[in-house]
Amino acid sequence: MKENETKDVVIIGAGITGLTLAFYLQKAGKKVTIIDQSDHVGGVIQTKQENGFIYETGPNTGVLSNPELVELFEDNSEAELETANSDSKNRWILKNNHFHAIPSGLIGGITTPLFSLKDKFRILGEPWRKPGTNPHETLAQLVKRRMGKSFLDYAVDPFISGIYAGDPNKLIPKYALPKLYNLEQTYGSFIRGAIQKKKEPKTDRDRKATKEVFSAFNGLQHLTDTVAKNIGSENIQLGAHNTTIEPHESGFKTSWSTETETFVVTSKKVVTTVPAPSIEKLLPFIDKNITQPITDLTYAKVVQVVLGFKNWDGRELNAFGGLIPKLEQRKVLGILFPSSIFKNRAPESGALLSVFMGGMRHPDIIEQSDEQLLTLAKNTVTETLKARNEPELAHVFRYKHAIPQYTETTPERINAIESIEQQYPGLILAGNIRDGIGMADRVKQAVDLSKKLTS
C-alpha cells in the first residue's frame, strides 16, 4: 500500500466540475488530488480528429450563461474560446417532415406553420396571465397554461429534448429551469420578465455572460486538457479503481487501486463530482437508505451518432440544427450541425452532423446495435435534410447516464445531500446531482465551491 502525502482537498472525478474546482483551489494555494476511474481527463467531454473532421463524442456546444465560464477560459488562455458563427443562429423544428425555422420577428411569428392561430393570438395575452401558485407544476402544465399547447408541442417539447433529453411532463421548472420559473414568479410573466431583465443594469462582469453558444477552438477537450495541464499531471490520478472514502481522524481517508498498486490519501476535505450511480460505492460508511434519494436520480440515456460528409450534397445547413418534436413520432431527437456552428469541424465543402437519439422518449434505443443506429441516423438525415450521398465518417457513442432529470424527487435528493454534508463536515457532494446540467452550471458550481472552501 502506497501512503501518499496528506492533501487539503481530494476531488473524485476529473470531468469539467472536478478540474475547475481543483484549478481554483490550487490557485488559492491549496494542495489537491483528483482521482478518476477512467484513463482520461474531461469526463464526458472528449474531442476526436479524423480525416479532416473534428468531432465531439459528448457535449458539442454550451451557452455562455455565466461569467465563471468565460473566466475559466481567461485563466486557461491556451484554450481559445470560440463562439458560434452568426449565420448558425436559426433553430429548426420538424413539422410534417419538413424543418421550419423558429420565428424571431413579428412577421415570422404570424406566418410560421409551427404554432396554431389560436396560440399565436393567445401569446399576446401572456404578459397579463396570472402567475401559477403550484411550485411542483410540471413544465408541460406551465407552458400550456401561459402559452398554449402548440407552443408546448412545437417549441418547448423539442427544446427540452435538445437540452435535457427530457420529458416536459416530468420536469419541474422550479428545479430544472429555475431561471424560467423565476421569470414568472418575480415578474408575473415570461415576456414581461425577459424585457425587465434586459433593462436591469449590468456590471462589466455580468456582461461576460453573453448567452452565446460556445466551444473551444478545435473542440471542447482543449479546455479540459488545458485546465488539467495547469493543475499538473502529478495531481491527477487516472485509472483509479474501487475508490472509497472513509472518515479518518479529523478528516477523510480515500483509497483506490490501479492495476499494480493500492493508494491511500488523507485530507481534511473530500468533494465528489461523480454522477449519482457512483455515490453508493464511494461512501460505504453511509447507510444505503440514506444515499437512496441520491442514487434514485434518473438519467436520460443518450445515443449520439456522428456523421461526416466530405462533400455535403443536401439542404443548405445554415442553422444551429434541427429538433424533432414528439408529435412527429420519430426515434431521433434532433440533429446538430457542428460544422455550421464552429470553424474547422469538416473539410471545406463538407458537413459534420451529430444525430441525437434516445432520451426519456426512447430509452430503449441505446440497446440497438451500431448498425441499426447508423441506419436510423442516415435515413433521418436523408429524409429531413435531403442528403444525397453517404457519409465518409460514422461513429456511435452511447451514454447510459447522460443527463440527470430534475423531477419532483429533487427536494428529497437535496435534503439527503445536505444531511450527509452536515453529519460529515468536510465531505461535499457536488457534480450534476445538483445545481444544473449544462457545462456552464458545472463550472459555476465548482467556482462557488472553491470560494467556499478557501474562505
Ligand X SMILES: Cc1cc2nc3c(=O)[nH]c(=O)nc-3n(C[C@H](O)[C@H](O)[C@H](O)COP(=O)(O)OP(=O)(O)OC[C@H]3O[C@@H](n4cnc5c(N)ncnc54)[C@H](O)[C@@H]3O)c2cc1C
Residues lying near ligand X in the complex (CB under 6 A): 12-18, 35-38, 43-45, 58-62, 240, 243, 273-275, 278, 282, 302, 304, 399, 402-403, 431-432, 437-439, 442
Which residues lie below 8 Å from residue 382, measured CB to CB, with a gap of 6+? Answer: 388
Residue 439 C-beta: closest distance to ligand X, Å: 4
Minimum CB separation from ligand X for residue 279, in Å? 8
- Residue (123 or 376) nearer to ligand X, CB: 376
What the block records as the C-alpha cell of 168 is: 416536459
Residue 345 has φ and ψ, to the nearest 5°, of -85, -15
Of the pair 36, 82, the CB lying nearest ligand X is at 36
Q: Which is nearer to ligand X, 252 or 399 (CB)?
A: 399
Tell me the closest approach of the beta carbon of residue 361 to ligand X, in angstroms: 15
Closest approach, Cβ 429 to ligand X, in A, equals: 12
**Which grid coordinates belong to 7?**
492533501
Cβ-based neighbours of 361, under 8 Å, separated by 6 or more = 161, 165, 167, 326, 333
CB of 146 to ligand X, least distance (A): 25
DSSP codes of every residue in 130-170: PPP--TT--HHHHHHHHH-HHHIIIIIHHHHHHHHS--TTT
Render 266-333 in DSSP notation, one character per residue.
Answer: EEEEEEE-S-GGGHHHH-TTS-HHHHHHHHT--EEEEEEEEEEESS--SS---SSEEE--GGG--SEE
Burial (CB < 10 A; 0-12, 13-18, 19+), residue 130, is: exposed
Nearest approach in angstroms of CB 270 to ligand X is 12
Q: Which is nearer to ligand X, 388 or 400 (CB)?
A: 400
* Complete edge-to-edge strand list for the sheet that includes strand 98-101: 98-101, 91-95, 321-323, 332-336, 351-358, 299-309, 393-404
Q: Which is closer to ligand X, CB of 37 or CB of 83?
A: 37
Residue 167 Cβ, how far from ligand X at the closest point, in Å?
17
Decide whether 407 or 432 has the Cβ nearer to ligand X.
432
Which of 162/308 has CB closer to ligand X?
162
